[in-house]
């Protein structure tokens, strides 16, 4: 079967919906709500992984990002930022810069696996480590970190602060927060979202190198597996996954981050552009 562009079909967006800049939906409340930064992987000239029949990772990640954003905003307990809101290439260091500049409370990168064995299926949750937890984790990190190699000339205007962040390992507190959030995702997914064996893994991912923000990278499933591909293309499954992730985020802020608890009141929403 020839490769097909599933972008509009997967996202369910109108053909004219193009947003020039990533946006943050900000809640105008007396108390600042936690800010969740969602990072849909790949985009633009970088399709990411591709299934045998042509489903591109970049469209799946963006569709999932919108589903998660909608689920989080519906609770009235969070503000949500997305590193990209359309089919746009963003360098890895810029993704980190957006999280730093927005002072995000939690960062989650969204990806799909492309594994050597089609029988392997299920989601996995990664945290940052200088040494990979296993060979598979190391291989996945290497693939994801190669995204910038096709970016062309280096992107200018990155501040020294961001450059230092990219060179840093996360702090002990951030490391504990990241691991806690990863466990919450795994526990929330059990019985509803297929998981790889030993789904909690770690590796040196470029987008997880902000030492100030607890961060995870979610591989939502394997595009090399026909069953996973079917699920990833399903709006119903993405909605289920978004609801499970919302439950995991609720648990994280309730148990681990009590200093910034979710608030019950549903906020008024306005737009804040990230430049």
pLDDT tens for the 275 residues of the chain, in order: 433 443 434 444 333 333 334 444 443 443 489 999 999 999 999 999 899 989 999 999 999 999 999 999 999 999 999 999 999 999 888 888 888 889 899 999 999 988 888 899 999 998 876 554 445 544 554 555 555 454 433 333 334 444 444 334 346 667 888 889 999 999 999 999 999 988 988 766 555 555 578 888 899 999 999 999 999 999 999 999 999 999 999 999 998 764 443 433 333 333 333 32
CB 229 within 8 A of CB 223: yes
Which of 112, 3, 119 has the alpha carbon at shortest distance from 53? 3
pTM score, whole prediction: 0.72
CA angle 101, 107, 109 (to 5 degrees): 115
Domain 7-273 is found in CATH 3.40.630.40: yes
- What's the rounded Cα separation, in Å, for the pair 132 and 208? 13
Grouping H, G, I as helix, E, B as strand and the rest as coil, residue 129 is: coil
Rounded to 5 degrees, φ, ψ at 120 are -75, 135
Contacts of residue 68, Cβ cutoff 8 Å, sequence gap at least 6 = 38, 80, 108, 110, 241, 242, 245, 246
């Amino acid at each position: 079967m020839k490769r097909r562009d599933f972008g509009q079909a997967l996202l369910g967006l109108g053909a004219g919906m193009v947003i020039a800049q990533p946006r943050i939906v900000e809640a105008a409340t007396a108390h600042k709500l936690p800010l969740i930064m969602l990072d849909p992987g790949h985009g633009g000239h970088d399709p990411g992984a591709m299934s045998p029949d042509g489903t591109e990772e970049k469209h799946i990640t963006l569709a999932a990002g919108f589903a998660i954003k909608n689920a989080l905003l519906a609770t009235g307990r969070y503000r949500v930022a997305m590193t990209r809101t359309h089919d746009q290439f963003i360098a890895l260091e810029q993704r980190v810069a957006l999280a730093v500049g927005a002072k995000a409370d939690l960062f989650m990168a969204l990806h799909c696996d492309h594994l050597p064995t089609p029988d392997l299926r299920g989601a996995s949750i990664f945290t940052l480590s200088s040494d990979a937890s296993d060979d598979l984790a190391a291989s996945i990190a290497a693939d994801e970190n190669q995204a910038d190699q096709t970016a062309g000339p280096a992107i200018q205007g990155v501040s020294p602060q961001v450059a230092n962040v990219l060179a840093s390992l996360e702090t002990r507190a951030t490391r504990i927060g990241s691991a806690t959030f990863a466990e919450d995702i795994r526990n929330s997914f059990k019985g509803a979202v297929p998981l790889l064996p030993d789904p909690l893994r770690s590796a040196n991912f470029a987008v997880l190198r902000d030492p100030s923000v607890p961060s995870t990278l979610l591989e939502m499933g394997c595009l090399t597996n026909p069953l996973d591909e079917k699920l990833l293309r399903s709006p119903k499954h993405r909605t289920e996954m978004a609801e499970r992730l919302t439950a995991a985020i609720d648990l994280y802020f309730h148990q681990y981050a009590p200093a910034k608890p979710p608030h019950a009141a549903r906020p008024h929403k306005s737009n804040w552009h990230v430049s």
